[in-house]
Structure 1
Amino acid sequence: MVQGSDFEEFYQNTRHRLVTMLYALNGNLADAQDAAQEAYARAWQRWSKVSGYDDPEAWVRTVARRIQVNRWRKLRNGLTAYRRHGPQPAVDPPSENTTALVTALRQLPTGQREAIVLHHLLDLPVAAVATQLGVPANTVKARLARGRRTLAHLVGAELTEESTHA
């Protein structure tokens, strides 16, 4: 029997029991199906080893149960943090200037937009932008200059001589 069809047969013969068990344990069918799916995906990745176990289904059940427990733990820890720190403070809506800038940035070619965001919003030096984008520093400088000119036109601002140099 081919390995893929062997796994498919295993899956077909065990999936209902696994999902039923997980559903009975946590009371949420969608979570049970998600945990089962992830457990079967892990079993598939290791099928050459898992299929040799005395009880591969027990391995999948254990993995699925651990996945469920880890999800509960994350939810519980998130709830604990929420209770401890309270809700995030309300965030003001973006200003008109921010909205105009984001709208203008979206109209730039990707390379220019990346260079401008990394250099001006993250304050990365040109060399670091070049390294991150995998391009020469002069390419970054050219993208910055073109991007600034286009942005100035799009937002109706005048460029100063200082802002045209990288």
Structure 2
Amino acid sequence: MPGADPGSFADFYSLQFSRIATQIYAYLGDHAEAQDIAQEAFVRAFDRWAVVSAYDEPFAWVRRVAWNLATSRMRRVKVTLGYLSRQREEHTPEPSPDRVALIQALAKLPDKHRLAVVLHYLANMTTAEIAKQESVADGTVRSWLSRGRAQLAGCFEESQEEVAHHG
């Protein structure tokens, strides 16, 4: 900073910082944010101290910079809060006991049997479509389905027996 007197800036800063920080604190209601903004305004003044120190009221320049920074912050906060208020929290209902039982029963099936049951009954695919996807014969898929259904039936018969026995 050629021509600038750093000592005069240090004195200026010492005398004026708390005034700016207090005003910005009153405006924002956030003490730490007010201090950060006041600090930023003084850093900007320091970068231009050769010019700012020649102004009739250097304090007014720093105050204006601080207020501009605070106003920008307020706008950003307002935009952010507006955006957040428009976001909807999605609530997904918990799975029904039947769905939980089905998922548990499907998990007990061998992989190919489970694949055939899920694709046929939940994805509505024909045995021919599943066979093509899995590169196997249609009869193989029919066998997987038959075995998968039998195993699922067995799982649900066991569940019914447990309910009857414990109920």
Give the structure-2-normalised TM-score.
Answer: 0.49
**Greater gyration radius:** 2
Give the structure-1-normalised TM-score.
Answer: 0.49
